[in-house]
Amino acid sequence: MNAIDELRERYGGVLMAFEKVVTCTDGLHEISGYTHNHFEQGGGALRFRITNSGKRSLSQNALMWKWLTEIAQQTKQKGYGDYDSEDMHIYFKDKFFVDKPLTIGKTTIQVKSTKKLDKGEMTFYMNQIHQWAVNAGFRLSMPEDSEYMKLMQSQNM
């Protein structure tokens, strides 16, 4: 049974949303099969998001850590507690990440890490942090020349 069918079975045949990283044509066929079945069964419109592969960039990573530092500083200024950027990193990973398996030898554990994100996944993660910050009343730096800002501008966001 493929991952999509497992989700369908787990949630009683109703699959409202899922995310899949496609690394080969098999994954593409899996999504294509799901899409075909969805429309054959009279399903409504679907939204697809295609993100860029390739390891997250140093520019993305640097901006993320800048934001985490700014959030930590503003958290202290607002009287919410004395946190540092590492605390904020742990908080946001827990809030927004899905565990990923890490296998060493015969042992597999579930971890939350930004280290292995691709550029698209990192952008999505940063969007979540940015939206959270805006909604919570925090102000974050947005350097005009950052890779993140250029990507947002290219997507008209």
d(CA 24, CA 21): 9
Residues 150 and 83 both lie in one domain: yes
The answer to whether residue 49 sits within a structural domain is: no
Residues 80 and 147 both lie in one domain: yes
CATH of the domain at 95: 1.10.3790.10
Residues 140 and 91 both lie in one domain: yes
Residues 102 and 147 both lie in one domain: yes
Residues 8 and 34 both lie in one domain: yes
pLDDT, one tens digit per residue, over 88-141 is: 999 999 899 877 777 888 888 888 788 878 888 888 899 999 999 999 999 999
Its domain, for residue 17, covers 3-40
d(CA 125, CA 122): 5
What confidence score (pLDDT) does residue 6 get? 66
Given pLDDT bands bounded at 50, 70 and 90, which one contains residue 16?
Answer: low
Q: Give the chain's domain count.
A: 2
pLDDT, one tens digit per residue, over 18-52 is: 566 666 677 677 778 878 887 888 878 887 766 65
Residues 85 and 139 both lie in one domain: yes
pLDDT, one tens digit per residue, over 48-92 is: 766 656 788 889 999 999 999 999 999 999 999 999 999 999 999
The answer to whether residue 52 sits within a structural domain is: no
Residues 19 and 63 both lie in one domain: no
